């Protein structure tokens, strides 16, 4: 479902943004404030994207070991998205050519 895919995109992004914001308010980063002033917005964007990616990858790895309620809390849904119509059906190699839809056979070549 498309709704599952959207949830599993938005929820980890929200978590990643929250974590990036929390890192930004840590007093340990105050000494670096002057060095980051010119590039702060760019660096914050990159760091946030990396945190979101790491968050999602970590929880996808951990997902089989967690109860459904925990997966829903961190990823938005315990179901993996399914995209209908994106995978072609396969046929046996000895099937008739007309049964193999979607092949790139051209007459006369």
Assess if residue 94 is contained within a domain: no
Burial 73-104 (b: 16+ CB within 10 A, else e): ebbbbbbeeeeeeeeeeeeeeeeeeeeeeeee
What is the count of structural domains for the chain? 1
- pLDDT surpassing 80 at residue 83: no
Assess if residue 106 is contained within a domain: no
Assess if residue 104 is contained within a domain: no
Q: What is the pTM of this model?
A: 0.56
Assess if residue 65 is contained within a domain: yes
Assess if residue 67 is contained within a domain: yes
Instruction: Give the model's confidence band at 12: pLDDT under 50 very low, under 70 low, under 90 confident, else very high.
Output: confident
For residue 35, give the nearest of 43, 46, 27 by alpha carbon: 43
What is the DSSP secondary-structure string of 54-98?
HHHHHHHHHGGGS-HHHHHHHHS-SSPP--TT-SPPP--TTS-GG
The domain of 58 spans 2-25+35-75
In a 13 Å sphere around the CA of 57, the CA atoms on its Cβ side amount to: 6
Assess if residue 88 is contained within a domain: no
> In the predicted model, what is the mean pLDDT of residues 7-17?
84
- pLDDT tens sequence across 19-31: 877 877 777 766 7
């Amino acid at each position: 479902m498309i709704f599952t895919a959207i949830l599993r995109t938005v929820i980890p992004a929200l978590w990643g943004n929250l974590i990036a914001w929390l890192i930004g308010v840590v007093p340990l980063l105050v000494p670096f404030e002057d060095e980051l002033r010119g590039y702060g917005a760019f660096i914050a964007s990159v760091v946030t994207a990396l945190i979101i990616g790491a968050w999602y990858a970590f929880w996808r790895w951990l997902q089989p070991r967690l109860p459904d309620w925990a997966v829903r809390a961190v990823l938005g849904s315990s179901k993996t998205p399914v995209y209908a119509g994106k995978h072609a059906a396969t046929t046996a190699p000895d099937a008739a050519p007309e049964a193999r839809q979607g092949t790139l056979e051209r007459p006369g070549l």
